[in-house]
Amino acid sequence: MTQNISLAPADTALLSDLLDRAKKAGADAADALLVRSTSLSAAVRLGELELVERSESADIGLRFIKGGRQACISTSDLRSEALAALVSRVTEMAEATPPDPLIGLATPEQLTQSWTIPDLYDTQDITAEQLIAMAGEVEAAALAVEGVTNTEGGGAGWDSSHVILMASNGFTGGYSLSSTGYGVTALAGSGTHMEQDSCSENRRFIGDLPDVKATGRKAGERAVAKLNPRKGPTGSVPVIFAPEQASYLLMDFAAAINGSSIARGTSFLKEQMGKPVFGPHVNIIDDPTLLRGLRSKPFDAEGLANARRQVIENGILTTWLLDLRSARQLGLKSTGHASRGVGGPPSPSASNMWMEPGVATPEELMADISSGFYVTDILGHGLNLVTGDYSRGAMGFWIENGKIAYPVSEMTVAGNLKDMFLCMQPANDLVRRYGIDAPTLRIEGMMVAGV
């Protein structure tokens, strides 16, 4: 079944030929993914053009299934003789793998019959001159901030991809993606007393990008504000996570409800379906159909329909993120969250996920804190997904009497995500910037210590 969009005949013929080769080699089932990509980027440092690059690539991946055994392989060599060798290698690989009764393509009844592509491709031509100008503007705005002494350069880039998935179960579908973005890393101070901060923006459509100069100023102002940090006090205090860092907490939540982790029993949320995981004021949405969303797609990587889901409803966990394999293992239906690259099999992954904003401003969340920590940077990785234990290095600002008092560094924040989720308070400043996004978050009673 082919959705009514324009698929390049040469590409569909290439995929069809590859699947025919796989069947002749003994595959019970197979699917193939073709991704053609083009990217253009520019870099400017201290007002001088450093780099303009353009690249084009085409990659094809084949998943080969025979006798319950599966292997995946990919190549960027699309010549006929190279594809013949590819099939020969993947056949040998499959024979060497152990059988897995849970693998397999979707049945025809499970496949989506039609879909809508959620406005993911900007047809506007993006030139190198435009990118050079954006890179220069974002850096110049950072350098104009008093106290900024240097940068690691301003950059801007554009990329587009054309994706086609074809499978031996009859599915064929494709779509196109684009994105444009810019960013800068600003440095403040001098010698051994320097601080830095980065700001970047990325959108599917160039016209949706926020003001370039405002982004550069933000990077510069943040770097200057970090100068002369101290170590903060040690103790149990309220902690406020800036939106960029709050988004990482939402990513941790997405990992904890990933079907693969649930099926393996390696998530601290494995027994929490239908139970309160967050406070009753928290709602979390996952929506692969979001118009111009950075993680949107019209169907999942197994050809199944996807849809908007309220993952957390008034604090209650309502669903896992499932692909076919994890769904089979759990005795459930796929939620259409299969994702894959050309070189591997499908696995569950969040799409556009966000925590709905609250009603209080970030300043109001902070107003009653006599002593606390405002986290603007998280360092390292310290999450035990099995237990929920959380410990990370952090930088930011100490809060005194409801206001930002002074910058702090070399800190750690620790807690357990079970407790952290239950007492999260979201502010009203949600911006969908990364694809997985949260507003400013306040969490009570975290352990904070100077290293």
DSSP character string of 338-404: EE--TTS--EE---SEEEPP-SS-HHHHHTT-SEEEEEEEEES--B-TTT-EEEEEEEEEEEETTEE
Average pLDDT, the chain: 96
Structure tokens at 82: 């190279």
Write out pLDDT tens, residues 154-209: 999 999 999 999 999 999 999 999 999 999 999 999 888 899 999 999 999 999 99
Q: What's the CA angle centered on 209, arms 206 and 210, to 5 degrees? A: 155
Helix (H, G, I), strand (E, B) or coil at 137: helix
Can you tell me the distance from the alpha carbon of 295 to that of 297, in angstroms, rounded to the nearest whole number? 7
Position 13 pLDDT exceeds 90: yes
Confidence of residue 4 (pLDDT cuts 50, 70, 90): very low
**pLDDT value, residue 383:** 93
Position 86 pLDDT exceeds 50: yes
Position 1 pLDDT exceeds 60: no
Position 403 pLDDT exceeds 60: yes
Average pLDDT over residues 78-86: 96
* Helices vs. strands in the chain: H and E counts, helices first: 9, 19
Write out pLDDT tens, residues 96-145: 999 999 999 999 999 998 998 889 999 998 999 999 999 999 999 999 99
**pLDDT value, residue 451:** 67
Write out pLDDT tens, residues 37-63: 999 999 999 999 999 999 999 999 999
Sign of CA dihedral 334, 339, 340, 344: negative
Can you tell me the distance from the alpha carbon of 438 to that of 440, in angstroms, rounded to the nearest whole number? 7
Can you tell me the distance from the alpha carbon of 290 to that of 370, in angstroms, rounded to the nearest whole number? 40
Give the HSE-up count for residue 369: Cα atoms under 13 Å, Cβ half-sphere.
26
**pLDDT value, residue 169:** 97
DSSP character string of 258-275: BHHHHHHT--TTTT-TTS
**pLDDT value, residue 381:** 82
Residues whose CB is less than 8 angstroms from the CB of residue 129 and which lie 6 or more positions away in sequence, other chains included:
none
Position 2 pLDDT exceeds 80: no
**pLDDT value, residue 7:** 81
pTM: 0.95
Write out pLDDT tens, residues 220-246: 999 999 999 999 999 999 999 999 999
**pLDDT value, residue 6:** 61
Write out pLDDT tens, residues 303-351: 999 999 999 999 999 999 999 999 999 999 999 999 999 999 999 999 9
Say which DSSP state 231 is in: P
Helix (H, G, I), strand (E, B) or coil at 276: strand
Alpha-carbon distances, residue 273 vs 192, 249, 436 (angstroms): 50, 19, 21
CB 39 within 8 A of CB 54: yes
Enumerate domains of the chain plus CATH numbers.
9-221 (3.30.2290.10), 229-451 (no CATH)
Q: What amino acid occupies position 415?
A: G
Cβ count near 191 (within 10 Å): 5
CB 445 within 8 A of CB 372: no
Structure tokens at 98: 């152990």
Say which DSSP state 230 is in: B
CA-based max dimension of the chain = 73
